[in-house]
Structure 1
Amino acid sequence: MAPVALYEVVAQPQEITWLPWAVQYFFFIGIAACAALVAFIASNGRTRRSRHLERICLFIAITCAITAPLALAADLHQVARFWHFYAWPTPWSWMPWGALFIPVFIGFLGLWFCAFHLDVYTHRYRKLRFALALTTALAAVGLLIYTGREVSVVRARPVWFSYWLLLGLFFSALQTLFALLTLAMRNDTRLSRLLARAQLLVLLWLAAVLVYWFMGDTLSGHSLREWWQLSADARFLMLAAVALWLTASGFAAYASLRTVNLPLGLLHIVAAMALCWLLRWALLIGGQTLPKYNALFNPYTLPWGTDGVMAIVGTFGLWLALMISLHAGLNWLTARIQHD
């Protein structure tokens, strides 16, 4: 009888390296960059409506842009490592480009925000506003490309390895921005309905991107279909995304035909933001549960502490606090200038 050779394969589940902090960063930085691009388009107009749209977009952009890097810093685990990107630059890699685009984008966005409000009160900074708007828009484009490519370039995670990921992240953030603007501009019926139609169009583009990505004859497409077949969590996340897409599309279609009141507008925003956030969670967190170098799924349970639920709730709380504080500060400044 021939000897029987026994082989034992030992596989160790890998820990999740990108925590929910990373999801929060991708969520807020996408909205901030899209808001800056829309604000740049509005800055080229000279009507009162365009100035109001620019102001609202800048308000959304600056609050999201402050929140995003704070979440990113928490995900770095060792924040002091950030200066290594400058001390030992590696321009052939996508990751260190964030050390350039993020501070440039936030810095020029802050200057543009200040110049806009100074110009509103003094009417002396029109050219400066345009220069800052153009620079910020270019930085926003670079930031969107960098944010997508730092994920989609990873061949070891086939689900991420696709250019469709960049478009998916961009369109999901853009439709969220349009939902926010639809509510913020609800007193301008014509513009509010136009923004709702724009969101509906972007949602259709998003659906087309996701369908082509899922059905494509690519490494990433095959991985997505296998993930659907093998993982109940994947099926839940994908079906939840479809349900949220239908909900957001329904709200956008309604808002494109009728004036939306505050409660309905808030539900509209929640649906759009939930879709945007869930796509990032499914890709970034769910994608890390797939085997990378071993033969096991990597289990992940969302903790309640600072690396889990508290991180998510705290980041949204920070964003709300920034909006309230900035709105109150601007109202105080306006009243002070008008009084003087």
Structure 2
Amino acid sequence: MSPEKRGYLRPPVEPMLASARETIPGAGALRGGLAMDLKWDGYRVLAFSPDRPGGPFLLQTRRGTLIQDRFPDLLAAAAQLPPGLVLDGELLVLNSEGTMDFGALQRRAVTTAPRTVQTLASAYPAYVVAFDVLQIDGQPVMAEPYEQRRDRLEGLFAGRALTPPWTLCPSTRDPEVAREWLETWTRTSGVEGVVCKGLKQPYKPGVRGWLKVRARQSTEALIGAITGTLGRPRLLVLGRYDGEGRLRYAGKTTEVSPAAARQLSNQLTAAEPGTHPWEGARFSSGWGTRDALDTTLIVPDQVAEVSVDTAQDRGVWRHPVRLARLRLDMPVDDVLSF
């Protein structure tokens, strides 16, 4: 029977999504009980195994882009997969020290020159951590409850004896275990938190039906620029000094509260032209976008205490951070450096 008649899934397929929350919910938060998977700091991908001998292996990003040509190591490993399989998971790469490297992943994901693609594949091997299955043997299983899809996924890994780069995502139904993961596993680079899924939930493409909980910590940074006005700052652009005394961009905050804006307006001073180390710099409005923020440079003499998650790229927080308070008691020199 041809793939078309059997109803094979074809890219692009929207992945199911998650809404953020602060803590792991109780068992009644999602219908029929909870499962909790580790949340990874990589690229969300759907992996489509060949639907016939010699057919193409396809790797689709969350936005629907096909990037399998940039990952020849995964193309070679697709021989392990049965035909007509679609996996949902996280694409990660490791550096020479064996740690997850988001910057290297980005370079691999955008590089198309064949020789460079092969060089990067050798230096930064790729892995897919699978946490759901959408199709098996050409038959979609998205309508099945999550607990049944998870059983299928575990059976697939055991029955096929799949080996890296195909990796099964750890999952638990014990909230205490998930809380321990938040406390301990998130100290490892590349692990962000947990994703909570209803055991009875079907897979709904594009729907934010899951819940994600990121591990957070408090730290400090310097305020180097703002959006809005001195009288009503909106976002803070943060920096830290490196070992050579240069103020480097570290991230930006979410919009600050009116109360925090009033306090900031009494403490911030606009930098004189030609005096700020970020003179002429442009700051992106979002990760991976080219839209620039309209900023006012600030004398970097104020310390902000912020709440951050674990997603970083070479010291830069990839997700917006939250302002906790101004640290008027902390000298600039006490802020951690890059």
TM-score by length of 1: 0.25
**Greater relative CO, 1 or 2 (CA 8 Å, sep 6+):** 1
Higher helix content, 1 or 2: 1
TM-score by length of 2: 0.25
